[in-house]
Chains A and B, each alone.
Chain A
Amino acid sequence: MLKYIANRLLQIVVTLFIFFALTYFILDAQPGDITLQYVNNPKFTKEQREALRRRLGLDKPAYVRFFQWMGNTLRGDLGESYQYRKPVMDVLLERAPRTIFLFLTATLIEFFVGYWLGRVLAWQRGTGLEYGITVVGAFFYTVFTPWFALMMIYLFGFTLKWFPIGKFLDVNLWRTAPKGLTANQIFINLLVTMTLLAVALVVVYYLTRRMNPYRASLIRWSALIGGAAIAVGYWAASPVAKYAGDILYHMALPIIVLTLINFSGTMLLTRTTMLETLREDYIMAARAKGLPERVVRDKHAARNAVLPVFTSLIISLPFILGGGIITETVFSWEGLGLTLLTASTTGDIPLVMGSFLFIGTLALLAHLVADVAYAFLDPRIRYA
């Protein structure tokens, strides 16, 4: 196992190197460079342009610059963003918490809803309910996201005024915020709360896994509700409750939209794997033993069918960093996706490379985690 992990880590390093080289040279191959944005200025002479190019290191050949970038990156220096005139690392660290919190919450809700519905769907095969949910699910799965999000903003934010339109906080409220309180602190604290809650739930799930399904599900549900109540209570009692509430209120509509768009992917995947699992011999054996349908479904079929769904959850986690370009644009949520979009449209190569570094590294590590976790969950898989 350790040898397998070491081997995979080595492969990851090689893959990342090739990936960075490819992206760097593709970005470099574009016509023109950053200095062209001043070219319409009559005071910007040719000499000045050359001086600027020299200062930014653009006069050197691309491969020299690539190895320089690589060396600096290994030393933890991602360079400076052309656009914001700040270190790329600062820009990314500022944007990361809001993106991670929004998309992590949405992804977890979406997987929960999708898994639950997919289980029902596989059991209701061939009924009108199945066709109905599948067609509705396919509609949401393939809906043109910007259009759908705008319709939702229009309906709930503009006409009904239930939710705020755009941005992640109310500027007027935050003007009165105590000195030193930043939105990022709240985002990070919320993330910590959520992680603790998730760990607690996993522990409860693990402890109850051998119990009678009825009792286990009762304990799990009460743990979920109790844990959520404690978390909410803690935040409501804290002095920054007003500001955290403001952020959560702004998050509600994006989360609803993301859940609606994404749940059917999980739902249809769960249905497919459930249907495949149902043809296994052990399901027939369980039925022949006279077990109730609910036990066959929840304990025998669903637990085996959850494996691919779990893998897809882990693999989808790194995409929350960059996959939210459309959502972040439509909701003016200034996270990593929107940063990547503006960086690429303005030719801010250091920032683009920095975002890709984040996304690429996390994606490859998530693949490794998914493979290793799979071996623990499914005893049939062994890595020699």
Chain B
Amino acid sequence: MTTAPAETAFHIQEPLWKIRLRIAWKGLKQSWALFTENKIGLIGLGIILFFGLMALAHPILMHTVWEPNIYDPFIGNDPTILQHPSPPSARHLLGTDPVGRDVLSQLMYSTQSEFILGLLAALVTVTIATSVGAISAYFGGALDAFFMRLADLINILPFIALLVVLTAFFDFGMIELALLIGILSGFGGTTIIFKAQALTIKVKPYIEAAKVAGGSDLHIIFRHIVPNLMPLAFLNMMFTVTGAIFSEAALSFFGLLNLRMSWGIMINTTQAAGYLLGGWKYWYLIVPPGLAITLLCSAFYLVGRALDEVVNPRLRRR
């Protein structure tokens, strides 16, 4: 009689957040084990880490080793070199561009903005798609029809073509572009995926239990449906990052964006200065940014593929 309350008291003594953290940690460990089973995810993660270090290293190098007026990604110029572009040398590991700026410094500086662009676009996409997907799955009816027709509407347009038209008519910077890509893909195809997933969650017994317990609609949507959409959200973020970085590079390549520096702009500069088909002699102008875009895009894509096998039990190996 006396031991039972003491035991309950013992369990309650541990704060709730600690228990939740422990459960989350356990889930994370399990997911990590599944993730590492697939080597392609680890390859992708390795590449992302490499680019992350590059982005972090740029400000440090600018403050220590690199002289600002020579290595600045926008206005730097090396007066000791007579002719620009110059091939890779000890001073400039990837050479200099037609205006005399250091290619490596530009590459590393752009890495930061690519990460910001990709992650911001992905965050906006997933926030919109999760809420809209959960709401239209939960309520159904006219609201659902409206959002699904809207998704169809956005889906019927080739993404790049629409971005080309919009950016040609309006002035876009990096943040605006990230928001635009986020909104378009958030209300577009991604919502349909999330709604389909939310529909399978809606019929689970615990949703019924929450309703019986008197949970309000918003409570059920944001405390019960949305948390269960999180793994899918994480997976879709990876694919959105790939799309966002690719779109930015393509638009910059056409010269449609109002950016100071990015990987796409680097290729655009090379093209505008006429070194594009100048032969392997000028490889250091075109290969580093092109390869960087490709590698970072495929890295996020590979991580997404590997996460797909974690999230989708039908794809797992038994």
Name A residues whose Cβ lies closer than 8 Å to a Cβ of B.
Answer: 11, 14-15, 18-19, 22, 26-27, 30, 125-126, 131, 134-135, 138-139, 141-148, 150-151, 153-154, 158-159, 268, 272, 275-276, 279, 318-319, 322-323, 325-326, 329, 337, 340-341, 344-345, 347, 352, 356, 359-360, 363-364, 367
Contact = CB atoms under 8 A, between A and B. Distances in A.
B290 A148 contact: yes
B119 to A, nearest CB: 17
A323 B166 CA distance: 15
Main secondary structure of the interface of A (DSSP, over half): helix
A359 B158 contact: yes
B209 interface: no
A327 to B, nearest CB: 11
A81 to B, nearest CB: 15
A143 B279 CA distance: 20
Interface string B159-188: 011001110111000000000000000000
Interface stretch (B68-76, B124-132, B295-303): B295-303
B157, B169, B249, B290 pick with most chain A CB within 10 angstroms? B169
Given A143-B294, A144-B293, 12 more contacts: A18-B153, A19-B153, A26-B169, A144-B250, A145-B250, A147-B293, A158-B277, A275-B315, A323-B161, A325-B158, A326-B160, A364-B152
B317 A126 contact: yes
Nearest to A364: B156
Interface residues of B, number: 42
A138 B296 CA distance: 11
30 contacts: A11-B149, A18-B153, A30-B169, A126-B317, A131-B40, A135-B40, A138-B305, A141-B298, A141-B301, A142-B294, A143-B297, A144-B290, A146-B253, A146-B267, A151-B286, A151-B290, A268-B305, A276-B314, A279-B314, A322-B157, A322-B158, A323-B161, A326-B160, A340-B165, A344-B164, A345-B168, A359-B158, A360-B156, A360-B157, A367-B156
A22 B293 CA distance: 32
A363 B40 contact: no
Interface of B: 39-40, 43, 149, 152-153, 156-158, 160-161, 164-166, 168-170, 242, 246, 249-250, 253-254, 256, 267, 276-277, 279, 286, 289-290, 293-294, 297-298, 301-302, 305, 308, 314-315, 317
Contacts of B294: 139, 142-144, 147-148
Contacts of B308: 272
Contacts of A364: 152, 156
Contacts of B297: 142-144
Contact of A134 (B253, B289, B305, B315): B305
B168 A142 contact: no
A114 to B, nearest CB: 15
A143 B297 CA distance: 8
A111 to B, nearest CB: 18
